[in-house]
Amino acid sequence: MQRNATTRYPVLLVHGLFGFERIGHFELFHEVKDALKTAGSRVFVPHLSATHDNEVRGEQLLKQIESVLRGTGASKVNLIGHSQGALSARYAAALAPHAVASVTSVSGPNHGSELADFLRKALVPDRLPEVVAQNVATLFADFISLLSGGGTLPQNALAALNALTTEGVGAFNDRFPQGLPPTWGGQGAAQVNGVRYYSWSGVLPATHLPSFDPIQNACQALSQYFMTEGDQNDGFVGRFSSHLGQVIRSDYPLDHLSTLRRSASTVASLLDPIALYVEHAARLRAVNL
């Protein structure tokens, strides 16, 4: 039987780094959006810069929240942010708690990413490698933005990388601590300034065999750059670094992008990552959100 997940407030699915709403017939949140709509929720996908810092993307999100509120007549929205989208959602909720009913972080680097730390150290400031990396990544982000119809949005790959490092997120957290756990690996306040905070994430499935999913193979390769959470990460974000508010679970057997989509590995397992979003919408409905 289909779960009733008709939330009181509209749901905004907030994409992360190099994310987009739609390119041609491909939608980043296609399965999630369809499942939530089928379950009865009103769903929107705001378009943010593919690469930029958390504050710039957060300001863009605030404007689109206002647009959704005007268009729907709702008084608040539920924000579900994937990866860096969680930081954009946290920014919006901190500045406009009156307009945000809940923030849900899915695989969000709420304490920074060790992968971002490694990449930042690999770039020498003010020398050729940094300039080349900045230009290439920004051009790629511009290309994605053009294809997805958001060509006027600013892009800044280096600002995005700096904003995702442990140091960068630490500075962000000093300004916007809402929902953060007081201890490493713990749970944060479930509600701050009237906004409810939730999170879930995954860790790479334990396997010594190559996967048929190239994305999971890439995440496995990237996981070697984690030190603090070497065996507890999804290839991009550490398990405990993802904790925010009420932690639903942070060790689902999912890589970083499998919390967005069904892959060959998740189809073969008993876990449906898309169902997690419908379950969460029902959770929000249960508390009148």
Which tokens sit at 222? 């990237």
The residue that leads in pLDDT, 142 or 250, is 250
Q: In this model, does residue 135 exceed pLDDT 70? A: no
Count the neighbouring beta carbons within 10 Å of the beta carbon of residue 251: 12
Taking each helix axis from N to C terminus, what angle separates 84-95 and 54-72, rounded to the nearest 10 degrees? 70
Contact 8, 288 (CB under 8 A): yes
CATH 3.40.109.10 fits 11-286, yes or no: no
pLDDT at residue 137 in the model: 44
CA angle 76, 12, 251 (to 5 degrees): 115
* Average pLDDT of the residues in 249-266: 83
Q: What are phi and psi of 189, to 5 degrees?
A: -65, 130
The residue that leads in pLDDT, 120 or 57, is 57
Torsion on CA atoms 173, 225, 28, 42, rounded to nearest 10: -30
CA dist 107 and 156 (Å) reads 22
* Average pLDDT of the residues in 202-231: 76
Under the banding of pLDDT at 50, 70 and 90, the label for residue 145 is: very low
Q: What's the longest Cα–Cα distance across the chain?
A: 59
Q: In this model, does residue 127 exceed pLDDT 60? A: no
pLDDT at residue 34 in the model: 93
Pick from 150, 134, 132: nearest CA to 142: 150
pLDDT at residue 253 in the model: 92
Q: What are phi and psi of 267, to 5 degrees?
A: -65, -35
* Average pLDDT of the residues in 181-207: 94
Strand pairing category for 22-23 and 26-27: antiparallel
Q: What is the mean pLDDT of the chain?
A: 84
CA dist 86 and 89 (Å) reads 5
* Average pLDDT of the residues in 228-252: 93
CA dist 262 and 266 (Å) reads 6
Residues labelled as active-site residues: 83, 234, 256
* Average pLDDT of the residues in 142-160: 61
Beta bridge partners of 209: none
Q: Where exactly are the structural domains of the chain?
A: 11-286
CA dist 131 and 246 (Å) reads 40
Q: In this model, does residue 241 exceed pLDDT 60? A: yes
CA angle 213, 268, 12 (to 5 degrees): 75
CA dist 87 and 172 (Å) reads 9
Strand pairing category for 246-253 and 195-203: parallel
Q: Which pLDDT tens digit goes with each residue over 62-106?
A: 999 999 999 999 999 999 999 999 999 999 999 999 999 999 999
Stated pTM of the model: 0.86
